[in-house]
Amino acid sequence: IEIRSTTNLPARGISMHRAAGRSAAWARERRGATLQEAIAAIAIATVVLVAATQMLGTIARQHRLFECRSLATLEAGNIMEQVMARPWAEVTSEKLAAITLSDACRQMLPGARLQLQVTPEGSTEEARRIGVQIDWQHAASQQGKPVRLVAWRFRKEGMEP
């Protein structure tokens, strides 16, 4: 029997049964993935999952630090606004000692601490340098980078010292 085929099998002397048997044996050998391929796939998936988990943890930490810093900056700005709205005679370190952080700031920033500093500028004390600094602790008892605002307040003409 001669078989004329468009496959790459030689046409002479090979029966359909024999040709089919060879491809069936080859298919039995290559059915499914080998153990080495499965282990390699699991290892790659594990590395990807560990990297993704670490990256998400880092992103969450950075987001928390950003929120804390934003809140501290807003609080420092509000305190500076309170100080600048006071009369000239009340802008002293002693009188500003009564200013405290808001409840929301104390709750969101663990170990938050406010420092107000008023320094006379010039020999005639026509200006005062006002510094507001907020420090706090973040995870693992590490000190957060403090937020500092500085402003100068000038005495208006005709005001008493």
- Residue range 81-98, pLDDT digits in tens: 999 999 988 999 899 999
H-only helix segments in the chain: 16-29, 35-85, 93-96, 103-108
Specify the pLDDT at position 123. Answer: 77
CA dihedral (71, 78, 98, 128) in degrees, to 10, reads 120
Centre a 10 Å sphere on the Cβ of residue 76 and count the other Cβ atoms it contains.
21
Q: Are 64 and 81 in contact (CB under 8 A)?
A: no
Summarize the confidence of residues 135-140 as an average pLDDT.
77
Q: Which of 13, 31, 35 is nearest to 23 (CA)?
A: 31
